[in-house]
A and B are shown apart, each in its own frame.
Chain A
Amino acid sequence: MKNLRLMIAAVCLCALGLVSTPARAADSGKELVLWHAYRAEEKASLEKVVARFNAANASKGIKVKTLAVPYDAYADKISATVPRGKGPDIFIFAQDRLGGWIEAGNTVEPIDFYLEDEVRKRFIPSTMEAMTYRGTTYGLPLNYKVVTLIYNKKLVPTPPKSSGELVKVAKKLTDKKAGRFGLAYSYGDFYYHASLMNGFGGGVFGPGTTPTLNSAENVKSVEQVLKWVEKDGILPAEPSSALITSLFNEGKAAMVFSGPWFLGEIAKSVDYGLAPLPTLDEAGGKPMRPWMTVEGVYVSAPSKNKDAAFEVVKYLTSEEAAKMLALEGRQSPANQAVYKDAQVAGDKVLKAFRDQVEVAVPMPNVPEMSMVWSPATSAMNAILKKASTPKAAFDDAQKAVAKDVAGLRKK
């Protein structure tokens, strides 16, 4: 008898569980869910933009709900939930995972169909390129992050325009014994090194996804770093990000190559300025071209309200929204019209990044890119530690990447 009662209780509980799911799904109607990984002012400004959208579209019954997902687990959460229809309708993420999600399928909705030409033209062209995978557009660019030259105004009154000037200025400010350096950046980190690599005309992939790590340009770009470290001696050894921050804050590093994430770490007492990365005399005066990461807004493929979701995406990347995200969220919008706005144009930081992005290269969004990091980092290490010549190290890296890429395609 007791068993029976327990059974009935269990069955009732199960039934309750089953009943509650469809009930929730039914009343959500045209409520769209937006996932992002922003915090602090970025989050606040995004929520403000969304609130404005909701107010304008209340009559159509469209309502957007935002959810901030902790960054560490964000990408995996997207990969796990979206293809199974449990994810958001819209999500914001950098372009580096885009290719992987597209190849995995049923994650990101292609949006070429919705894209009118005037919407396409509203963005800085290279940011739009970052949202494109094999000729198809998958999202609209929201903002970008790019490495630029950040300098201590007290030590460097006018920022150098070319690598020659850079070395000259830096040499004067370097005093290794006292732990002072003219320039500091994570040159061992392949991401930071990319601005030199692209500046010399090198790159990771040739046409399509053929790895070209051991190209002559790439080798030349590393030799440039070696020259800065050894011959000119303007860079510290083993530059970790923590070290660079502390050097800059103590006034022991006059110039730094870094991105917007660095600004938050600068001490209040340091008067800093931003300028485009110098041109390379060694490459015939071509500019250094950093990689940029573009955060895009995507419509998820299993979403039930793709039309409405695209309207949201369009609004989030509009001039009105971009202005709020820029001024309050301190982000660099990919919308180019917003930079004509007086307030935005008057903002030195935003303007500096806007100038830099002109020559920036979108970081490849192909899934093969994830196979590059480890061999490329090893190669950089081997070269900087003198364990290998630049050519040999990049040959090894090229071999490793080519092997991994082939392993992926083997049938």
Chain B
Amino acid sequence: MSASDPQQTGDGREGVADRPLPESEAPPSLHSADPRKGGQAPGAPRHMRVLAGLVLALGLVLALAHGLLSRTVEDLTVQREDRRALVSLHALTDLVERAEGSGDAARAVVSAWQDQMRAGSAVRVIAFSGIKLEASTFPEDVGDKAAPRRLAREEKPIYDRGQRLRTAVETNQEEGGARKAELETELLSNGGRQVSAPVEVDGSVVGMVEMATAPQAPAPKPGLGPLLLWWLVPLAACAGASFVVRKQGLRVVASVVAFAVGLGGYAAYSLRTLEHEVRESQEVVAAQLRTMAERAATVLAEQQLPAEPALRPGHWDADEFRRPLGLVSPAGEVDAAVLAERVEEVASGVRRTFGGLAVLGLAVLLFIGMGGLARTVETVVEHRQAYLYIAPAMVGMLVLVFFPFFYGITLSFTDSNLYNSSQPLSDTWVGLRNYVEILGDFTIAKRGSDGALVFNYLNFYYTLFFTVVWTVTNVAIGVSVGLGLALILNVQGLAMRPVYRVLLILPWAMPNYITALIWKGMFHQQFGVVNHVIRMFGGQGLAWFDSPATSFLTALTTNGWLSFPFMMVVSLGALQSIPAELYEAARVDGASRWQQFTAITLPALKPALVPAVILSVVWTFNMFNIIFLVTDGEPGGSTEILVTQAYKYAFQRYRYGYAAAYSTVIFGILLLYSMVQNRLSRATEAA
């Protein structure tokens, strides 16, 4: 990179100047300011820029592709070895289950099984009753540690693993699904693999069989040959082309073609490698299945275990939920149709990955090739102080604002919930389903049997409607009460004005959750002060939190109480800055009180009131505390606003993905509001 730097910087200057060579003709405006650059690198030919772009873009993309390919090949190898081990483990488990999972019969099965395993492999059988090691061929379990014995304290993880499998089996049975893995595989410190399976006797899990396999030979790495081939050949072709072609545009096109050829070639190579790997895996597993089936039949006969029901080798090649994979038939033949499906699955994965890589590579290529990089470097160098100054703030924003924000948006496309929050987000991806569920549900209300409308309070549009009503009424109350009080306080010569002012600001100074709880108490049906007053005048006390309308009134009153001081302070400040001469002049002209108010006071207040209203709309829209504490959505969720509803989805129903989508929708609404508001206020400023 450093070698091509000066060239690009040179190129960049041309890019900015948009002028051909030579350097001396470049206008001095941008560059003469920096003396260090003046004497440096003569402008490099533009085709170098294209070539450098291609070198970098293709190199980067191929390196990534190569890394992904080797990892996939490695994963496939591990998968194959796990499947082989699992076939063996399932066969053994089947036998152990026939031996009732414990006792001498189980030990005999295990030792018979050990004979045919590769050196370095070992098995153990755990029985839950009495926390016992029933049988073991592990080298450390000899002498006084030989089975059967109680597990030692440091062997607790083994026992816990068994319990985990038991819980998983029971949970899946109970829920009738496959949510928890019923098999565990683990990488051992010596490079071998360990697989564990539950032992089921008479329908309940009584133990576990574990098998440790000998360390595997490392997976074959895909060679570097194809990588270099598909990197250098397009490069050479493009270099040749760029000397022949004169026009810069055509050179860029040539580089894009070369890039496509290089990436496409390597993609074809990857596809072949993986397909071969997948096909070979099936053969290996099928062979293992045949051997194990024979072996199991022999041991079955030798140990005189019950032969009914018949062995089911078809169930031995299974996924982590012990459901047969179906790639290999019970007889040990490879099922061609299923295999083709599997190959197609792998191929589509490869195509998707390479599609992504192509987009990334093209972006890099065009960015460098069209001179974007050169220009960027130039600005960064020129304004380096400015960038330095904003760097800490940018880092802070990145970590504290942008990351959570984008994480939340990503989360909204998943079905993440309490049970699967430990899985990677890609596993729970559901696309737009959450949004469709939220926005596509129009069952806002239905007719009850008596013809009255019954609202569906969980519906998004109902909650949105309620939130809007809540916001509008609150702001209207806040502004009118605040402005009214400010006008009163602004009366000339008012006695004890500071005292009133302090008293009126008090509601604002109290923590709002305390205020909220006090108000909630005041609305108590039997002992609240509000009903007390009503009864004093001969009325009947109301059950305030019983109907949506009265419940809404309580929250409205509480929030009105909390919001007028802010409006009052803002208006009072603005009122005091209106020069008294204006009113005098108006009076001289014979204007009435009302005319003075509409022609002088209101226009003078507007610059202060409009921002305050904008702010308080956003605050009220998201006023979590009041709703949550005063009404808590009662009755039946009818007084829930959008944020409290999102909170309930996340922390009462544990549907994180759904709640994230809900929050994103709220964000969208507020974004829309602020955009419209911006335009409107710009219009009012201009007027």
Instruction: Give the B-binding residues of A (Cβ under 8 A).
Output: 100, 103-105, 110, 112-114, 134-136, 207-209, 236-238, 240, 242-243, 246, 306-307, 367, 370-371, 373-374, 378, 381-382, 385, 387, 404, 407-411
Contacts and interface: CB of A to CB of B under 8 A. Distances in A.
Contact of A113 (B160, B648, B653): B160
Contacts of B288: none
A277 to B, nearest CB: 25
A408 B521 CA distance: 36
B417 A407 contact: yes
B512 interface: no
A102 to B, nearest CB: 9
Contacts of A112: 131, 159, 163
Nearest to B427: A411
B524 A409 contact: no
Contacts of B418: 100, 103-104, 367, 408
Contact of B635 (A114, A382, A409, A411): A382
Contact of A385 (B153, B419, B526, B635): B635
A408 B175 contact: no
Contacts of A371: 652-654
Interface residues of B, number: 39
21 contacts: A100-B418, A103-B418, A104-B421, A105-B422, A110-B160, A110-B163, A112-B163, A113-B156, A134-B171, A207-B174, A208-B174, A209-B174, A237-B543, A238-B525, A243-B526, A307-B153, A371-B652, A378-B634, A385-B546, A404-B653, A407-B655
Contacts of B634: 378, 381
A134 B418 CA distance: 17
A136 B167 contact: yes
A408 B652 contact: no
A46 B658 CA distance: 42
B635 A387 contact: yes
Contacts of B179: 409, 411
Given A100-B418, A134-B167, A382-B635, A243 B654 contact: no
A381 B653 contact: no
Interface of B: 131, 151, 153, 156, 159-160, 163, 166-167, 170-171, 174-175, 177-179, 415, 417-419, 421-422, 521, 524-527, 543, 546, 634-637, 648, 652-655, 658
Given A371-B653, A407-B655, A240 B524 contact: yes
Interface of A is mostly: helix
B417 A408 contact: yes
B398 to A, nearest CB: 19
Nearest to A378: B636
B370 to A, nearest CB: 35
A136 B170 CA distance: 12
A246 B156 CA distance: 53
A378 B634 CA distance: 8
Given A136-B167, A236-B526, A410 B521 contact: no
B415 A113 contact: no
A290 B159 CA distance: 35
Contacts of A409: 175, 177, 179, 419
B14 to A, nearest CB: 33
Contacts of B156: 113-114, 306
Given A103-B418, A134-B167, A134-B171, A408 B543 contact: no
B419 A370 contact: no
B419 A408 contact: yes
5 A-B pairs with the lowest CB-CB distances in the bound complex, closest first: A238-B525, A208-B174, A113-B156, A404-B653, A378-B636
Given A113-B156, A236-B526, A411 B177 contact: yes
A265 to B, nearest CB: 16
Nearest to A3: B388
A408 B652 CA distance: 11
B412 to A, nearest CB: 15
Contact of B521 (A134, A209, A242, A387): A242
